[in-house]
Structure 1
Amino acid sequence: MTNRLYYADNLVALREHVADASVDLVYLDPPFNSNANYNILFRSPAGHAAQSQIEAFEDTWHWNDAAEDAFEQVMRSGQTRAFDLLRAMRTFLGENDMMAYLSMMAIRLIELHRVLKPTGSLYLHCDPTASHYLKMLLDGVFGADRFLSEIVWKRTSSHNSARRWGPIHDTILAYTRGPNFCWNRLFTPYDADYVRRFYRHADAAGRLYRLSDLTASGLRGGESGLPWGGFDPSAHGRHWAIPSVVKQEFPTHEGLRTHDWLTLFADGGLIEMAGDGGWPHVRRFLDRMPGQPLQDIIDDIPPLTQRHAERLGYPTQKPLALLERIIAASSNDGDVVLDPFCGCGTAILAAEKLGRRWIGIDVTHLAISLIERRMKDAFPGTHFSVEGTPKDLASALDLAARDKYQFQWWAVSMVEGVPVDGKKKGADGGIDGVIYFKPDGKRTEKALISVKGGAHVGVQMIRDLHSAMEREKAPIGIFVTAALPTGPMLREAAAVGRFTDEFGRGFARLQILTLAELFRGKRPEIPFVDPLAAIRRARREESARQGELL
């Protein structure tokens, strides 16, 4: 079941492929701004035709028959609390885009609750546009008592808003399936200013330490209230706070009496009489402290910018460190992590890196093919399966008949290309994708990809691709076709000539590949292909030209 990518509607994939109580951790980052276009996967490097964008799907969350069906599915789900909330929201909001979004999310949250183990947790990443409504839905599905945390991630340093507070954060809502959930206590490094303000002392060896009071407010009998070392805590309305100190300083020690602990601390040079009246304080050395326990405000993980090597151009891409923190806190080695809106796959990469098993679901071939490339780039030799993508010629032709854009994006992924927007043919001359390559290991070039899924192809299509190559100054063109090429097409392609790289290797400038050949393993002949690295390099070069600090 695990280490699988599903190209599918996540509601269908969850119902058909994910069993009850089989998942340890769910992370989801669904589209949450009802007035935006979602899943714009790539902005092409400078020089590409019209700075084209890929839109996996445009604002599909309008109130329509699909939204009404999602609402009715919640009604029939048996989740009475969730439906009561959703019905109240519909009364309040009306039948608009936000209500369509909430209906879509409600039925999916019900399925995600079903697949979670009793010890499992769910983290929903959203923004203030819908976070308050989503929290109510989560209360309805999971129960208000299963709310764990509302985490604030500072996603940017500032935002220039003329008439409101600058919106610089996202919200992550964390819920648990049951009361006995997985939680690993993690720590982050202390802030430099905190260290400077509190760890102001140093011993003879130069070790930094701070002084902490050995007493706590309130009177207690027994040893906790007896004088020691000439100091009587009860005279000040206090008692010895040894248990709390021991837990932090000596978590593996237990069983000693209060005065024995005090003597041990004193003999070890850990106690000094500081402050007015010689109050006893314990030295807490910086190099023995684990750090700051996780807090619900995350401001130490910056958003991705042009200078980050992991940045792919996916606008909602989250930093790997953020997903690693969430997965490390709420799952263990070998646990199953599920991301039902996996996008560019950062949660999947984090799960693999931390030794978890994983399931990723996305509704676009763009996302699935991108994750495949990222996984192979980051973890060579790792094994995972991809479900729902064409596995033979018949299924490829079926996809072409059902959705030509998804077919084009899938075909582009088969030749390890980066898709361009198939809906803007007037701007890009019918180009469906680009393969970036470095013929000399430094300079980035591109091969243009044209995909045809119909039963009829002709020589004019080859001429159109050649014209685009000349216009774009692309040394190579790839024509992918479901039908067999004709003789005139083959002759026209051959007449375009050869490209010779820096090492004297020759490559056909215009190459024709059939789907049947792709399924047999044939691929374009491209010099020095490295798609992700080339994309990153092109973006860094463009940033440098614009004067951005790398």
Structure 2
Amino acid sequence: MNGLNWTNDGPDLIVHGDNLPALEQLPDASFRLIYLDPPFNTGRPQKRQTITTVRSATGTRVGFKGRSYDTIKGTLYGYDDSFADYWEFLEPRLLEAWRLLDDRGTLYLHLDYREAHYAKVVLDALFGRECFLNEIIWAYDYGARATKRWPSKHDTILVYVKNPATYYFDNEAVDREPYMAPGLVTPEKAERGKLPTDVWWHTIVSPTGKEKTGYATQKPEGVLRRIVQASSAPGDWVLDFFAGSGTTGAVAGKLGRRFMLVDANPDAIEVMRSRLGSAEVVTLG
């Protein structure tokens, strides 16, 4: 296997390979923030295909003012989200995350309702219950349309710190959000906005928006921006070893943080290489 030869004064890095052996090559306490968005164990393939529309005199789609368009299908990105023993897969990687956090570090583990309650038990054991900081609910406005139960419209992000006495958290650095009832606060407060709570209302990545990469399960930059702002400072190293479309790196780079992204999926590496052109790409093999 090619070594990573990682140092904290090196370049931003995209690593193509199995994340567990990659993590085992890294020194203890190397990262201030780790964000993980592992497969949710849905039991089904996850796919997303990019779609582009272009003006055409003979197009099959009709849009604004009767103009004609052709639809062009792009690359299909996907992965198999099914594990016979999900926690046998995930637990050793969470243990590595604990080892790699520095004394002021924080882990954000992003899951949905299928595994979040099991994750809380596992993380209590690995980190200690005293290191639990928050359960964040990310609520969104698109997705399931269930008719025989309440539709699932949220994910859970569990937040654990390495050391409850020394962890880094700067809520003043976080972008503020509008008050839901601005008339109940002073005009000054309404203009400034309020600090977010542990319930985050944020839309998914728009299928037709500028932010989209076409990668399945891509998370919006707004959610990662809040995480990176609060739990790291400029110059700190951020790690995501289920990197997917590279949103963590995109946000970290814009906010002046350093980043390492790891993924075994060639589609993910292709997307990240295009999205994060300044990062160095290393293949483990």
Short-chain TM bin: 0.7 to 0.9
Q: Of the two structures, which has the highest relative contact order with CA contacts closer than 8 Å and spacing of 6 or more?
A: 2
Would you say the 8 A contact 1:41–1:366 is kept in 2? no
**Larger relative strand fraction:** 2
- Is 1:189 paired with 2:211? no
Instruction: Give the Cα separation in 2 of the matches to 1:7 and 1:148.
Output: 31
Aligned equivalents of 2:128, 2:108: Cα separation in 1: 15
Aligned position for 2:96: 111
Q: How big is each residue's C-alpha offset from its partner over 1:282-317, in whole Å with a ceiling of 9 and x where there is no partner?
A: xxx337x74312200001x21112342111222311
TM-score (norm 2): 0.83
Separation in 2 of the partners of 1:52 and 1:370? 10
Tell me, in whole angstroms, the C-alpha distance in 2 between the residues paired with 1:286 and 1:153.
24
Residue 32 (structure 2) aligns with: 24
* 1:315 maps to 2:210: no
Letter in 1 for 2:211: E
Does 2:273 match 1:286? Answer: no
Pick closer, same or farther for the CA change 1:333–1:52 going to 2, 3 Å.
closer
Change (3 A) 1:145 1:387: same
Instruction: Please report the RMSD computed on the Cα atoms of aligned residues, expressed in angstroms.
Output: 2.1
After TM superposition, the structure 1 = structure 2 runs for residues 365-514 of structure 1, keeping only pairs within 5 Å, are: 365-376=266-277, 382=278, 384-388=279-283
Distance in 1, matches of 2:211 and 2:103, equals 34
Deviation string, structure 1 residues 86-118 (Cα, Å, up to 9, x no partner): xxxxxxxxxxxxxx1111110100011001101
Asked whether the 8 Å contact 2:43–2:83 carries over to 1, the reply is no
Q: Deviations over 1:335-384 (max 9, x none)?
A: 000000000000010010100011000002221121111113xxxxx3x3
Deviations 1:389-413 (A, max 9, x none): 6xxxxxxxxx8xxxxxxxxxxxxxx
Structure label with greater radius of gyration: 1
Q: Are the aligned partners of 1:187 and 1:290 in contact in 2 as well (CA < 8 Å)?
A: no
Q: How does 1:3-152 map to 2 (within 5 A)?
A: 3-16=12-25, 18-38=26-46, 40=47, 42-43=49-50, 46-48=71-73, 53-56=76-79, 58-59=80-81, 61-62=83-84, 100-152=85-137
Unaligned runs of 5+ in 1: 63-99, 200-207, 209-284, 377-381, 390-398, 400-550
Amino acid at match of 2:118: Y
Instruction: Summarize the Cα distance change of 1:60–1:164 in structure 2 as closer, same or farther, 3 Å threshold.
Output: closer
User: Is 1:295 matched up with 2:197?
Assistant: yes
Distance 2:263 2:143 in 1: 31
1:204-353 matches, within 5 Å, as 208=187, 285-286=188-189, 290-299=192-201, 301-353=202-254
Tell me the CA shift for residue 158 of structure 1.
6.6
Q: Quick one: distance in 2 between partners of 1:189 and 1:176? A: 25
1:163 aligns with 2:148: yes
1:154 to 2:139 alignment: yes
1:142 positional shift: 0.5
Structure 2 gap ranges (5+)? 1-5, 53-70
Contact 2:40 2:81 in 1 (8 A): no
> Conserved in 1, the CA contact under 8 Å of 2:36 and 2:242?
yes
Q: How many aligned positions are there? A: 255
